[in-house]
């Protein structure tokens, strides 16, 4: 990729796994997994959610122990008994969900994570500056975490690994939270790191990125290695087939639609965030027609949450006419009344807003489905609720033992299918979906995209807010972007390009008033 020659001989692996097996109650998470990484290699670990990637990483990082198999570190067989010994060996890991304290500074957070190894804070600060400069990751050590963007927070996590002597860096789905530009910056850093001899284990399910970045790839499915390949040569389709198996359809192109009558119209929406660190919305205008999908791109924290709250009714507006469903002004209505008028809503947080983690799927059906005749005279109609829950599970192929399983026991993809199914089966006239496939495996993402397209073709107006540009281009009929609380003009997907939307995402567009 960048001129780094990968040692092709097997004389000197940095890390070698032989026959790693891990059994969890009721599930063989890893089944005789073999994997080799040489110094300076960027190695992809590909697989859907539940394929066993996390388990494997956790064993390398010493969080759990394998039931069978051997781990060799620089040629010697080792037992990694805990993360701190992994760190001392030179293994660093960046988790998908950051573990940072919002009210502390960058340095303090890193010092906390390092524990006794942190040493003097001033020394550490110097080291942080040094490392972040060297690898092109601008980072101010005295800033508080809450003032950092997601991309910057990720840098903190990476720098945390780099301030120590690092030989293997493990990154769990690092790009899922970044803009295309940020992804490029991250890749530059990673390539430079690899050029310096650090091995990188890159966990992902985004094939394009793996093809761009990684020297080699190991693909997992159902806990087993289904193949090894050179991503640059293998091609996305082949890797995808290895990931999901032959029976799952992978990607399709969807026909675009022009839409009909306007259903949702937002007029001159300006509002202050409920969150002290949130974005202020500035004169936002847009419309969504029946039978079309409008996609709003943007980096997290640019006003998406505020816009969503204004649409869902969680934030009641000052003027009714600011948000309209067809001819009804709904700006002053609460979420329930908006649902009665045909709103379906898929929030960003699956657990904790879209579904109550501790409650069963049946109860979570009732959570938003209560308007579908599931309640009579104030009492819950158990039979109907169960029927509805079963219908969602069956129609949307939600993998779960039964409707009484707790929402938190489902994988992200399955829970998202459940939530989307729950909303769609209520026949919404307007569906607002935030990050509908965030952290979801390809199979589930495809199913969700199909469901959205189908709903569109039935004539519903759909608004999708996502950080995943590829996804937006795939399913949206029209696109715009939000930046710092302002909305760009929108264009038909066929008439714009990733570059243009990328520019909108950074705030380069004329005037928000042009948006139609």
Partner 1 sequence: MFLKLQPRGEASKRMSYLSPLLAGILTLVTGGIFFIFLGHDPFHALGVFLISPVSDLYGFAELCVKAAPIMLCAVGLALAFKAQVWNIGAEGQLLMGGLLASAVALQLIEAEGFWVLPVVLLSGALGGALWGLLAAWLRNRFNANEILTTIMFNYIALYLLLYFVHGALKDPDGYGFPESAVFSDSATLPILLEDTRLHIGILFAMFAVVASWVFISRSFVGFQIQVLGLDSNAAKLSGFKHKRLVLLVMLISGALAGIAGAGEVTGPIGQLIPSISPGYGYAAIIVAFLGRLHPVGIFFASLLMALIYMGGELAQIELNMPLAVTSLFQGMLLFYLLACDVLINFKIKLNKSQVAGAEQNTVGNA
The residues that touch partner 1, with contacts defined as CB under 8 A, are: 62-63, 81-85, 95, 97-99, 113, 115, 312-314, 334-339, 345, 347, 349, 352-359, 363, 366-368, 370, 375, 378-380, 382, 408-409
Distances (CA, A) of 377 to 266, 374, 381, 388: 36, 10, 10, 19
Compute how many other C-beta atoms are within 10 angstroms of the C-beta atom of residue 312.
18
Compute how many other C-beta atoms are within 10 angstroms of the C-beta atom of residue 158.
24
Least distance in angstroms from the C-beta of 24 to partner 1 = 10
- What span, in angstroms and rounded, lies between the C-alpha atoms of 70 and 67? 10
Nearer to partner 1, 57 or 193 (CB): 57
Question: Residues 330, 338: contact at Cβ < 8 Å?
Answer: yes
Nearer to partner 1, 240 or 389 (CB): 389
- What span, in angstroms and rounded, lies between the C-alpha atoms of 10 and 61? 23
> Can you state the angle between helices 498-505 and 180-195, rounded to 10 degrees?
100
Nearer to partner 1, 84 or 147 (CB): 84
Least distance in angstroms from the C-beta of 97 to partner 1 = 6
Nearer to partner 1, 63 or 232 (CB): 63
Q: What is the H or E stretch that residue 391 is in?
A: helix 382-395
Nearer to partner 1, 362 or 478 (CB): 362
- What span, in angstroms and rounded, lies between the C-alpha atoms of 246 and 182? 33
Region label for 443, one of left (φ > 0), alpha (ψ between -120 and 50) or beta (otherwise):
alpha
Nearer to partner 1, 72 or 98 (CB): 98
Least distance in angstroms from the C-beta of 410 to partner 1 = 13
Question: Residues 474, 449: contact at Cβ < 8 Å?
Answer: yes
212 exposed, middle or buried (CB, 10 Å; 0-12, 13-18, 19+)? middle
Least distance in angstroms from the C-beta of 497 to partner 1 = 35
Nearer to partner 1, 210 or 465 (CB): 465
Least distance in angstroms from the C-beta of 129 to partner 1 = 24
Least distance in angstroms from the C-beta of 226 to partner 1 = 28
Nearer to partner 1, 343 or 445 (CB): 343
3 state SS of 237 = helix
Least distance in angstroms from the C-beta of 82 to partner 1 = 4
Least distance in angstroms from the C-beta of 357 to partner 1 = 7
Q: Nearest Cα to 490, choosing from 502, 481, 500?
A: 481
Region label for 210, one of left (φ > 0), alpha (ψ between -120 and 50) or beta (otherwise):
alpha
Compute how many other C-beta atoms are within 10 angstroms of the C-beta atom of residue 31.
18
Nearer to partner 1, 113 or 124 (CB): 113
Ranges of H-type helices in 266-378: 304-312, 335-340, 361-369
Nearer to partner 1, 6 or 320 (CB): 320
Identify the residue whose tokens are 């795939």.
Answer: 474
Least distance in angstroms from the C-beta of 325 to partner 1 = 15
Work out whether strand 224-229 and strand 216-221 pair parallel, antiparallel, or are unpaired: antiparallel
Token pair belonging to 176: 């899922």
3-state percent helix, strand, coil for the chain, nearest multiple of 5? 35, 25, 40
Least distance in angstroms from the C-beta of 490 to partner 1 = 26
Q: What is the largest CA-CA distance in the chain?
A: 74
Least distance in angstroms from the C-beta of 58 to partner 1 = 8
Nearer to partner 1, 3 or 26 (CB): 26
């Amino acid at each position: 990729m960048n001129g780094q020659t990968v040692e092709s001989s097997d004389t000197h692996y940095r890390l070698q796994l032989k026959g790693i097996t891990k059994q969890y109650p009721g599930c063989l998470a890893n089944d005789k997994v073999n994997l080799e990484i040489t110094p300076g290699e960027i190695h992809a670990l590909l697989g859907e959610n539940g394929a066993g990637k996390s388990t494997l990483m956790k064993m390398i990082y010493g969080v759990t122990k394998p039931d069978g198999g051997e781990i060799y570190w620089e040629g010697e067989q080792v037992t990694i008994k805990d993360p701190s010994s992994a760190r001392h060996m030179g293994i660093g890991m960046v988790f998908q969900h950051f573990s940072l304290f919002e009210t502390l500074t960058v340095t303090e957070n890193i010092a906390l994570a390092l524990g006794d190894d942190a040493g003097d804070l001033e020394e550490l600060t110097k080291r942080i500056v040094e490392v972040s400069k060297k690898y092109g990751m601008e980072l101010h050590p005295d800033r508080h975490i809450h003032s950092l963007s997601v991309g910057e927070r990720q840098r903190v996590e990476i720098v945390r690994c780099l301030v120590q002597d690092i030989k293997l860096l493990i990154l769990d789905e690092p790009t899922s939270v970044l803009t295309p530009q940020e992804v490029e910056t991250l890749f530059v850093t990673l390539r430079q790191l690899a050029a310096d001899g650090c091995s990188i284990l890159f966990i992902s399910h985004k094939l394009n990125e793996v093809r761009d970045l990684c020297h080699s790839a190991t693909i997992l499915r159902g806990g087993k290695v289904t193949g090894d390949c050179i991503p640059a040569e293998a091609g996305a389709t082949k890797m995808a087939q290895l990931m999901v198996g032959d029976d799952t359809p992978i990607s399709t192109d969807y026909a675009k639609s022009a839409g009909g009558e306007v259903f949702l119209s937002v007029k001159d929406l300006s509002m202050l965030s409920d969150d002290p660190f949130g974005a202020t919305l500035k004169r936002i205008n847009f419309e969504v027609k029946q039978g079309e999908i409008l996609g709003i791109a943007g980096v997290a924290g640019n006003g998406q949450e505020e816009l969503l709250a204004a649409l869902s009714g969680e934030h009641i507006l000052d003027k009714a006419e600011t948000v309209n469903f067809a001819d009804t002004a709904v700006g002053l209505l609460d979420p329930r009344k908006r649902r009665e008028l045909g709103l379906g809503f898929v929030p960003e947080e699956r657990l904790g807003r879209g579904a109550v983690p501790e409650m069963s799927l049946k109860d979570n059906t009732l959570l938003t489905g209560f308007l579908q005749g599931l309640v009579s005279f104030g009492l819950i109609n158990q039979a109907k609720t169960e029927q509805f829950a079963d219908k969602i599970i069956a129609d949307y192929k939600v993998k779960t033992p039964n409707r009484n399983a707790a929402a938190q026991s489902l994988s992200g993809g399955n829970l998202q299918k459940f939530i989307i199914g729950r909303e769609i089966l209520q026949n919404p006239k307007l569906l607002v979906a935030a990050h509908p496939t965030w952290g979801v495996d390809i199979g589930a993402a495809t199913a969700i995209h199909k469901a959205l397209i189908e709903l569109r073709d039935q004539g519903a107006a759909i608004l999708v807010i996502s950080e995943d540009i590829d996804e937006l281009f795939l399913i949206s009929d029209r696109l715009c972007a939000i930046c710092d609380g302002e909305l760009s003009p929108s264009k038909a997907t066929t008439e714009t390009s990733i570059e243009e939307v990328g520019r909108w995402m950074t705030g380069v567009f004329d005037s928000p008033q042009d948006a139609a």
